[in-house]
Structure 1
């Protein structure tokens, strides 16, 4: 007697993969999204033992990890995935991310530099190790809807604020105890023992939540299997790495779009991550209601999540230059206004910070989707990783900003801070205008017939590289 087997349609399996990618991105995005919420708790905790610790010094945890972010993005796409496969790459990244808060727990009473490695370098490195597999696995099921799929997956990173900021606030400050003005620093700090004593254990609780969510998602986040040719099977791991780097050298580095997207990502990571790192410390100067601010941060996560999906849909309908240039221009105006509006009207500040959440982080889905459009095929991951190297330079800019402006001696640090972010956004808007939708062949003839032939050739090449799949529009 045959035992009936449960059969799940490819469409359902694809949707489950997209959902699992969303959850993984939600978890790994929690470090960046809750860092600004955690910063006041961390500074307050550390100042029990060292009253020289400032917001600027403690804030180096984010850029310290971010300096390695781009490096691991490049290594993930060009070495780890070709060497061990995307599946093991994903598992390794999830494991590293899960243990990072545990290591942070043991390093919390040590030097800020050790803490920066355990709870700065490791989680952000893991974030980039898992980024490419979660996107490519999901796209393998729906190759005709790259923008929507990548937008859905990366929306998880935006949604993390909605889940983890209220959770972290509940773990550390469930009684909603207000901070106090610290004499001589110009900042607000928590001095309640009840709040400070909960800071270490909150890291362990977060690690447990990460482990449960990651374990569940790894069961569902699986790439669609395709038939592999014999000559492809015989390629050694070293040959695959060499092929990836040759593709990067011959295709990626010779394209103008590579450098435009690289600089664009540097500026946007500097803008978005800066907002995440300092939004709450500035908000506490305007309103000391910790619970209210955690709610605002959580709602901001919804805006962040929604923007990544909306941008993905818009990129499938319109071109990159139109969508991203308009978005970054509006963000520049937002950043130029937020300081003045904050002191004039707290509700107005809330509206602008939510708008900033909506506009600042969609590049996480927009840039990879545009790269996969420009460089279709199995080696698009190495180009995504190489452009992701710009994250290191973006976090270097954040490091310089934090050390320069938030050392306790700079006058009007937040005013200067938001003006710099406005300039970053304005330059990004200019760069987006020059990004093309397709790469032109050097030998392309400008006649209508040859254009159609080139277009047809590009489509055939993309089909040859891509896995067969379904159209997302038909699946949902």
Structure 2
């Protein structure tokens, strides 16, 4: 009997590891989103010179904004589809939207800016939305006692994804390191001729990776045993900490009863979507996510165009973006591990403080040099990466796993508003006041996350 139980556990762990790896692989392709700052310089140059001179860097950011807004709009749909058609079909459908959206840009980039927004923006965003949450949900169900770390691994793929994308884009399009022209755009004909072809290349590679990932991703058949294991762990932890924390918890009026007893869920059980949106914790997490998303969207789209104002080396800027992906990935693992060891509250306060600080350092990079520019960009990526693993894990801890995908999808709708604000900040302020004012405003917005996090229960 004992041997059979051990064999069953080994088999379960094998499928669980495969599911986590599949989630990581799928998120690698979704992480192409973070290569937009690099790809935008080529796409915008192509359209500015060959389609319409009215298309500029300041308005091209709307492509990325539509992607993230669409992702926010459709994220909750992924949770619904997961329950209706299953894990693998949901991920496959999202993969088809994402890869085909990128590949179809081969045609739309010669048509109009609106057509590019439809394919590289909207379709890409739908694919991201449907594919994003499901691997996270599956991974945390397989390993309920290591939620932060598992989430960090999976979304680490999202952070690392731009490493390969950025390198491939630059080496394919600009292998001779041709600098931008006096206009601020790439003008070389041989470079521009290859721009449409890169979308077919990326779309094909991504779909091949996604197909493998969809085969590997699964969720435990006996979820109840996973929940029981988690509950036992929580109860054991509660017994150790109960006597030490009892007086402290009673003194805090804002801590829910369930949290006082050691259960991380707000009501001591899994909440439905309707119940979750009636809690103050939902709206606090939503606003923190919203503030941090503004910082994420702005640096992702504008770091390279800002660097081009004082660095005349396309390879260097591309390498900065590629290495930023490593910091993005490692940050997700580090912040997830920190949350497992401490709390969401402590981790988010530290993360948001770092993010606000490093945004301010960008203003000094033209004076200090390109090395300091790389340092600032890398640590901004390292800092903001924690947003996704911390919020996703806190959502599951606070509201439970049953409706996690749908609840997290609702939280992700902040992207609809934040992406528009990023574009408005850029178009309204960039030409009038310059990058430094934009960086300061974003830093100020992120500082709001620190104050909001302090309102959340200490044990979350």
TM-score normalised over the length of structure 2: 0.85
Q: Where do 1:385-400 residues align within 5 Å?
A: 385-400=409-424
Equivalent position of 1:423 in the other structure: 444
Q: Where do 1:349-388 residues align within 5 Å?
A: 349-388=373-412
SS of the residue aligned with 2:54? coil
Q: Distance in 2 between matches of 1:221 and 1:81?
A: 12
Cα offset, 1:314, TM superposition: 0.8
Q: Where do 1:207-226 residues align within 5 Å?
A: 207-226=203-222
Offset from partner CA, 1:376-424 (integer Å, 9 cap, x none): 1311222111111111111121121232234xxx234211211111112
- Contact (CA 8 Å) 1:29, 1:127: kept in 2 or not? no
Q: Distance in 1 between matches of 2:458 and 2:125?
A: 30
Q: Where do 1:76-225 residues align within 5 Å?
A: 76-77=78-79, 79-182=80-183, 188-225=184-221
Cα offset, 1:181, TM superposition: 2.6
CA, structure 1 residues 246+19, in 2 after alignment: closer, same or farther (shift >3 Å)? Answer: closer
Equivalent position of 2:29 in the other structure: 27
CA, structure 1 residues 175+401, in 2 after alignment: closer, same or farther (shift >3 Å)? Answer: same
Q: Distance in 2 between matches of 1:420 and 1:266?
A: 14
The runs of at least 4 aligned residues of structure 1 exceeding 4 Å deviation read: none
Which structure dedicates a bigger proportion of its chain to helix? 2
Q: Distance in 2 between matches of 1:219 and 1:86?
A: 10
Q: Where do 1:445-460 residues align within 5 Å?
A: none
SS of the residue aligned with 1:298? helix
SS of the residue aligned with 2:417? helix
| Structure 1 residue 289 corresponds to structure 2 residue 313 | yes
SS of the residue aligned with 2:177? coil
- Contact (CA 8 Å) 2:68, 2:415: kept in 1 or not? yes
Offset from partner CA, 1:289-313 (integer Å, 9 cap, x none): 1111111111110000001011111
**C-alpha RMSD of matched pairs (Å):** 2.0
SS of the residue aligned with 2:146? helix
Cα offset, 1:315, TM superposition: 0.8
- Contact (CA 8 Å) 1:267, 1:425: kept in 2 or not? yes
SS of the residue aligned with 1:176? coil
Cα offset, 1:362, TM superposition: 1.6
> When the two structures are aligned, how many residues end up with a matched partner?
408
SS of the residue aligned with 1:434? coil
Equivalent position of 1:239 in the other structure: none
Q: Distance in 2 between matches of 1:390 and 1:120?
A: 17
Q: Distance in 1 between matches of 2:134 and 2:378?
A: 30
Equivalent position of 2:274 in the other structure: 249
Q: Where do 1:252-401 residues align within 5 Å?
A: 252-401=276-425
Q: Distance in 2 between matches of 1:86 and 1:39?
A: 33
Q: Distance in 2 between matches of 1:133 and 1:166?
A: 28
Cα offset, 1:375, TM superposition: 1.1
Cα offset, 1:13, TM superposition: 2.1
Cα offset, 1:128, TM superposition: 1.7
Offset from partner CA, 1:294-339 (integer Å, 9 cap, x none): 1111111000000101111111111111111111112112112211
Offset from partner CA, 1:223-274 (integer Å, 9 cap, x none): 2222789xxxxxxxxxxxxxxx982222x11211100110111111111111
Cα offset, 1:84, TM superposition: 2.2
Equivalent position of 2:64 in the other structure: 62
Cα offset, 1:361, TM superposition: 2.2
Q: Distance in 1 between matches of 2:392 and 2:283?
A: 14
- Contact (CA 8 Å) 2:88, 2:215: kept in 1 or not? no
Cα offset, 1:437, TM superposition: 5.2
CA, structure 1 residues 123+437, in 2 after alignment: closer, same or farther (shift >3 Å)? Answer: farther
Cα offset, 1:54, TM superposition: 1.0
- Contact (CA 8 Å) 1:286, 1:343: kept in 2 or not? no
- Contact (CA 8 Å) 1:70, 1:388: kept in 2 or not? yes
SS of the residue aligned with 2:117? helix
Q: Distance in 1 between matches of 2:453 and 2:428?
A: 29
TM-score normalised over the length of structure 1: 0.82
Runs of at least 5 residues in structure 1 that lack an aligned partner in the other structure:
1-5, 183-187, 230-244, 440-476
Cα offset, 1:196, TM superposition: 0.6
